[in-house]
Structure 1
Amino acid sequence: MSAHEPFSGRQELPAALRGFLDRLAGAPVVDPVASALVDQAVAVLRRPGFDTLLSLPQLTFQPFDYQQETAATVLRRMRGRAILADEVGLGKTIEAGLVASELRMRGLADRTLVITPAGLVEQWRDELERKFGMPTAILSGSDVTPDGRGNGPVLLASLATARRDPLKSRLTGTAWDLVIADEAHRLRSTRSASGKLIRALTARFLLLLTATPVENRLQDLYEMISLVAPGLLGTPSQFRARHAAPGGDGGGVGSPRNLTELRARSRQVMVRHRRSEVALRLPQRLAETVLVTPDTDERDMYAELAERIRVEAKEATAARRIALRSAARLAGSTPAAAAPTLRKLGWTDLATAAEAITNPAKVRLLVARLGEHAARGEKVLVFTAFRQTVDAVATATRAAGIDAAVYHGSLRRAEKELAIGSFRDEKPVLLSTESAGEGRNLQFCHVMVNLDLPWNPMQIEQRLGRLHRVGQTHDVLLTNLACRGTIEERILHVLENKINMFELVIGELDMILGRINEDFDFEQAVFDAFTASEDGNAFGRRMDELGDDLAAARAGYLADRGTVDALVGEDDA
């Protein structure tokens, strides 16, 4: 019955109720649009404030207090637009994940986009799905419908892909609730393709993650802050007039004027923690490189392979160069790993020679080392990039009476869990491909051996991150095995002697590599240096030059870290 229909039993009702029905019958019809708006308003009012983080009970880990405080600060005081500028290794990803979780639980971030360097896309996916329980989807260059609906997945895109059409046009044509940009110092420049992309995106909430919001120009800070809070620092000319160093042109960092005021304004949109402030300590990382003298047949095979690659690469197509590079990497692991690729390249003589080497010197040394660790009751994680090497080493360890679990990407999920469980509970050794370097926390182990060396240093860091992370209670011992006279020996020389890679905090390496060039590819640079050199000595000189570039980048990174502390840190007491 509607409010305007007569009620047949009206006379039987009390007089007061009949009067109420009369007034109700004369009332205007309820507007369904207005009613819906009221319902929405009531729903908003019922949402709890940001004083309480709703997502904490649903997480699979316990965030540090300073990470929870950062999320609350960003949500309450900064209204979801902020720069997370913690030092490397303190968990900016965790802080951003907390903010995203809180906004999504309140229905405020149904459309969320994460833009990150290509090498970090999978890491973001793993963090958001495993730790926060948020579904994700990775956008590729062919994706043209990236806009999420309802409580859809968090969309992830590499910076290189996002700044190119057709994806760029779709991203910039979507009204996002939340955009998260990792390594956001790459977005500062208003003239770069990356800078133009971030400025073309529309988002209610925006998080910029970078440990170095300032590099070599005071203007860097202005551009970063203006992304999240346009107008906070005035116009560019007003900013220079107010804060540029006396006698300077306003470009360099120098000693800015009105530093206390600049810090105060920066802290309105920026959160920065230093390692010393949060007292976050990890055990030591003890790294050693063991150079192995190859047997004569190994040395001869590798030398012949290296010469053929150098000769053929000069005139090779792009596809053939990729195959040649793969062969070089495989040969640096074990002959057994290289043999199938050598045969596909048409080098059957080399493939036959590789197959005949069934017990290479590096594997013999590894097995001896594993026996020593097992005798001391130490668990050992052995990494290799290739399945063929895992199989060869598994055969060798069995022959030596060493019980080893095996982990690789071809295993089903249940088999992977079984391998990790047996390594944790009973077996002293885990032989693994890179797949255990993605998302697995193995802090119950503190000894790791790189049987072969990835040419991409970020993969080396990812491997090490499985053990050297929060929760590890022992010093971590890392052993790198490399045969003398190989490309891997030269790579280790550069990484150890030029930038002290194995002393860096997890995350600092990417900061250094990114300073060489926005799209710098270390692996490609190594192969180019190798194929452009007429012999090993020339290759060594080219690698030293590459190492000098890395050393300069590391020095610049360390200097900029101090500059950031001076510009956005707390005032001295």
Structure 2
Amino acid sequence: MTTHTLDFPPGSLVRARGREWIVMPASRGAELHLRPLGGSEEDETILYVPLEPQPPEPASFAPPDPTQARDHAASALLLDALMLSLRHGAGPLRSFGHIAVQPRAYQLVPLLMALKMPVVRLLIADDVGIGKTIEAALIARELLDRGDIRRLAVLCPPHLTEQWQRELAERFHIDAVVVRSHTADRLERELAPGVSLFEAHPYTIVSLDYIKSDRRRDAFQRACPEFVIVDEAHTCTYGGQGRQLRYQLLRGLADDPERHLVLLTATPHSGDEEAFYNLLGLLRPEFAGLREAAPDRRAALREALAQHFVQRRRPDIAEWHDNTLFPDRRSAELTYRLGGDWGRLFEDVLDYARELVERSQGRGQREQRMNGWAALALLRCISSSPAAAVRALTTRLQGGLPGDGETAPWKELEQQASERILDGHEDDLSGDDLEPAAQTEDGARLQALIEAARALHGPSHDPKLKTLLTHVRQLLADGFHPVVFCRYIATAHYVAEALREHLRDAQVAAVTGELTSDEREDAVLRLGEADHRVLVATDCLAEGINLQSLFDAVVHYDLSWNPTRHEQREGRVDRFGQRAREVRCTMLYGENNPVDGAVLEVILRKAESIRRELGVLVPMPDDGQRLEQALMNAVLLRGQRAGLLRRQGTLDLFGADDAAGRELELAWQSARDKAKQSRSIFAQRRLRPADVLPEWDKMNEALGQQEDVARFVQRVMARLGAELEPTGHGAAAHHKLHVSSLPPALRERLATLGWEGSLRVSLQPPAAAGCIELHRTHPIVAALADYVLEQALEGAGDEGEPAAARCGAAFVTGVNVKTTVLLLRLRHRLTRSGAHGTHLMLCEQALAIAVAADGTPRILTAPQARALLHQPASRNMPAAVRQRHLQAALQALPTWQPALDALARAQAAQLLADHRRVRDAADARGALDVTALLPADVIGLYVLLPDAATA
């Protein structure tokens, strides 16, 4: 009669096909999902019980064989291999066995907040570079591993789709497909009729611009996964037409009370209070009315909101006392002076721009606006570079717009001018790096300006470029790898050409909007192979590609006309994962350049003063015309009588007749006051370090930290005769791992995963440029740990003695009394019952037990176990003596079993308490139970004797 699967609950041991297996939770009916006793999830096998010639039968775990005892170093290696091979950890945070990143303690705050919610609704508004992507993906991975969700979607701007896909795959082992206009058709062609791609593909990264249309939005809402992450959520509130459609999409998703929703933004409150409260309303509808609520009601709502809203700035992270979190940002300003031919050209361009504005006075609005934009375009491009000025002067204002000529759509003209000149709106900064058009007429004067700009090409004529070359040369000499940010394509190529010519020992690359996102990424990675490298980029890289692993300095060659863009540029390198302890940030401007002076005073200085006061960056207030008019007033309309290239100080920007300037000043003050009030009302840290650090410490103890990974990899490679070859130095230090020198079975396993030849690997995060970071869940580390464990459990095989030993005896320094160390693998079955049925999970735990002479076992912490097993043997022990001690310990093992079972039950009870503490097991969440599967697996048995002991 065939044995039925239900006789083997998850976690139990069975014997089938001549070997032992662990039953996995996915088993259903007559279908048995099994994992080899010493194998990994990749080795999982499915048996259909009725077709098996020999039905599976219960099995027990064999004790260690004393004849296979090895030296003491082989004993210590098994402890690390067992710990690193665990995928179903016994801690309350189930996901940490499946992630390829070591989150910092403060990044657990959103996760722990989310786990206390029956339905996750969370707004994560942490500062740029703190790690919002990691925080959101941790929540997704945890809910997947708990069985709370099966599908997820990430909604984000199109330029972030590939980054999200890469982050989820590399760090969280979630393989998602990108759904954009150029991928959706292909994905849908592969589907059966009537099947939604969001049902066929459980994990998707979806472009907000693709999915927001009425037809696609409705179809997505019908098939939307139960868990949704929205990146750059501030772009999905009321505003322009595109934002309105995005908001309608999110509003429809949020209307499903069972949908988990995580919103991410670094700028939740961009000065538009209505938009901010609409964003809060996506968490819970009543939050949208918080602004209008009566005082007593408002207090209760704020308290409730604190459970859904987490916002930390860099200063807030300081309370975690982790000095490895972020580098020191050293900011500096570098100036140059206009003079000679440059000064004369600048004066001529300013005169011409002023005349464009003046000649349109009293004429139609269209001509006034066109001439105003043309004037600003000239000012911005002449301040950028001669190359950008030439491009602006040779491009007609109407050119490049649909409906070329006087019939060009007005809204498109305004939008293009805003994006190319003023950097776009706060919640949707422009990545358009094409030079704006400034040619409104033909004539000898315009041609003379063009020829004069062309003649100023190169550092001998261009003081701005000359200053940059000197500064970059110094940065490289100091060991930094800079990114030089330019506003326009022509400027980027102009700067890159000069750097290549004058820095022959450095690799220089220019990355602009001319390249696709994949081409940009490839160009950056290729540059990372150089020891001395300089990246010249436009703002197409200010978002989308993180640069912290390759670069550690930022130079603002062109001032941004939006302070948020400055922060985004610097945030590409000054962010979580930056290896350097110092990041340099330099702002370059002309000390007698009136355009730079106006931008500094109207925009950047004001933003910085508010940041110093409040500790946060307040977005620039602008209704689309205030900034434009204030800059023109400051530079053009008063320039005639002010003397634009004055040698002392900066312009008096807001004169008595400057209404636009006064309005902008008042708007800045209002933004400051609103931000201060918002910070006071909504700033909260309900989960402080004391609330989080216990879970952090338990996670690290259970799964091991990076130093454990580094030690294990180095030792196992040495035991296998394939030692790592150190190379490089400092931040570029790494090792070469020669796969060809590994045992055949391990070499073949790695080859099937795509790892062959000689690999450049790094044992400390973040990895040096061009290196593979070997973390605990990297396939190479997992393969090494699984191989060591399998070989130890199977004993000697075709490839010789195992690298690790299941038993051993040694005289050990630092041991005062004979001690037996048992290395146990505890298996627990976690059962959670709720509205969606019963969910079974297998939890595994590596535990070291010390048994002294009196026979009383005690649990060792992971550091204690490592301290014992990693102590060197003081002298050799004769084989006969070793066998005698091991036989005595194995004979005593049955007498210790009741105490070991009691310890296993106590661990199960502690695991249950941990789960309930992290996520309240209230009635609404159903019942939770943890059962220890006995007896515990004795993986290793080691007898440690004091050095003075005699045979």
- Establish whether TM, by shorter chain, passes 0.5: yes
Amino acid at match of 2:676: L
Counterpart in 1 of 2:346?
302
Counterpart in 2 of 1:126?
163
Pick one of 324, 337, 357 that aligns with 2:388.
337
Counterpart in 1 of 2:155?
114
Pick one of 81, 86, 90 that aligns with 2:120.
81
C-alpha contact 1:405 1:431 (8 A) present in aligned 2: no
Q: Distance in 2 between matches of 1:414 and 1:282?
A: 26
278 and 83 in structure 1: CA distance in 2 versus 1, 3 angstrom threshold: farther
TM superposition shift of 1:342: 1.4
2:587 paired with 1:462 = no
Aligned to 1:408, what secondary structure does the other structure show?
strand
501 and 131 in structure 1: CA distance in 2 versus 1, 3 angstrom threshold: farther
TM superposition shift of 1:112: 1.8
User: Which TM-score applies when normalising by structure 2?
Assistant: 0.44
Q: Distance in 1 between matches of 2:95 and 2:487?
A: 41
62 and 147 in structure 1: CA distance in 2 versus 1, 3 angstrom threshold: same
Amino acid at match of 1:126: Q
C-alpha contact 1:468 1:476 (8 A) present in aligned 2: yes
Question: Which one has the bigger helix percentage?
Answer: 1
Aligned to 1:153, what secondary structure does the other structure show?
strand
Q: Deviations over 1:112-151 (max 9, x none)?
A: 2526xx6xx63565245335455464667xx999973323
2:626 paired with 1:534 = no
290 and 508 in structure 1: CA distance in 2 versus 1, 3 angstrom threshold: same
User: Which TM-score applies when normalising by structure 1?
Assistant: 0.68
Counterpart in 2 of 1:62?
102
Amino acid at match of 2:487: A
TM superposition shift of 1:419: 1.8
Mapping for residues 107-506 of structure 1, pairs under 5 Å: 108=149, 110=151, 112-114=153-155, 122-123=159-160, 125-130=162-167, 132-133=169-170, 135=176, 137=178, 148-149=198-199, 150-151=201-202, 153-157=204-208, 165=214, 175-182=224-231, 193=244, 198-201=250-253, 202-203=255-256, 204-209=259-264, 227-228=282-283, 244-245=294-295, 256=299, 263=303, 265-266=304-305, 269-270=308-309, 274-279=316-321, 282-309=326-353, 311-312=355-356, 315-316=366-367, 326-345=377-396, 346=442, 347-358=446-457, 359-397=461-499, 400=502, 403-409=505-511, 410=515, 414-422=522-530, 425-427=531-533, 429-437=534-542, 438-442=544-548, 445-470=551-576, 471-483=578-590, 484-500=592-608
TM superposition shift of 1:344: 2.6
Q: Distance in 2 between matches of 1:486 and 1:162?
A: 44
Q: Distance in 1 between matches of 2:269 and 2:668?
A: 19
Moved more, 366-375 or 313-322: 313-322
TM superposition shift of 1:482: 1.8
Counterpart in 2 of 1:558?
676
Pick one of 121, 128, 139 that aligns with 1:99.
139
TM superposition shift of 1:172: 5.3
Aligned to 2:260, what secondary structure does the other structure show?
strand
Mapping for residues 12-27 of structure 1, pairs under 5 Å: none
Aligned residues: 501
TM superposition shift of 1:490: 1.8
Aligned to 1:206, what secondary structure does the other structure show?
strand
What are structure 1's unaligned runs of at least 5 residues? Answer: 1-15, 18-37
Q: Deviations over 1:11-66 (max 9, x none)?
A: xxxxx99xxxxxxxxxxxxxxxxxxxx879999xx99899444476454x432234
What are structure 2's unaligned runs of at least 5 residues? Answer: 3-27, 34-40, 42-86, 189-195, 361-365, 397-441, 643-650, 655-659, 692-951
Aligned to 2:585, what secondary structure does the other structure show?
strand
Q: Distance in 1 between matches of 2:123 and 2:151?
A: 21
172 and 307 in structure 1: CA distance in 2 versus 1, 3 angstrom threshold: farther
Q: Deviations over 1:380-435 (max 9, x none)?
A: 4322233433443344445545533222234676544222221xx235x4444445
C-alpha contact 2:500 2:507 (8 A) present in aligned 1: no
Which entry has the higher C-alpha Rg, 1 or 2? 2
TM superposition shift of 1:564: 1.6
RMSD: 5.2
C-alpha contact 1:137 1:155 (8 A) present in aligned 2: yes
Q: Distance in 1 between matches of 2:683 and 2:587?
A: 35
TM superposition shift of 1:335: 0.7
Q: Distance in 2 between matches of 1:217 and 1:399?
A: 47
TM superposition shift of 1:185: 7.0
Aligned to 2:394, what secondary structure does the other structure show?
helix
> Higher relative contact order by CA 8 Å / sep ≥ 6: 1 or 2?
2
Amino acid at match of 2:668: L
C-alpha contact 2:107 2:131 (8 A) present in aligned 1: yes
462 and 162 in structure 1: CA distance in 2 versus 1, 3 angstrom threshold: same
Aligned to 2:467, what secondary structure does the other structure show?
helix
C-alpha contact 1:449 1:480 (8 A) present in aligned 2: yes
Amino acid at match of 1:153: T
Question: Which one has the bigger strand percentage?
Answer: 2
374 and 417 in structure 1: CA distance in 2 versus 1, 3 angstrom threshold: closer
530 and 151 in structure 1: CA distance in 2 versus 1, 3 angstrom threshold: same
Aligned to 1:304, what secondary structure does the other structure show?
helix
Mapping for residues 505-524 of structure 1, pairs under 5 Å: 508-509=616-617, 512-513=619-620, 516=621
Give aligned-pair identity as a percent.
22
Counterpart in 2 of 1:549?
667
86 and 451 in structure 1: CA distance in 2 versus 1, 3 angstrom threshold: closer
Q: Distance in 2 between matches of 1:354 and 1:294?
A: 14
Q: Deviations over 1:189-225 (max 9, x none)?
A: 99x9576653333552112346788999999999877
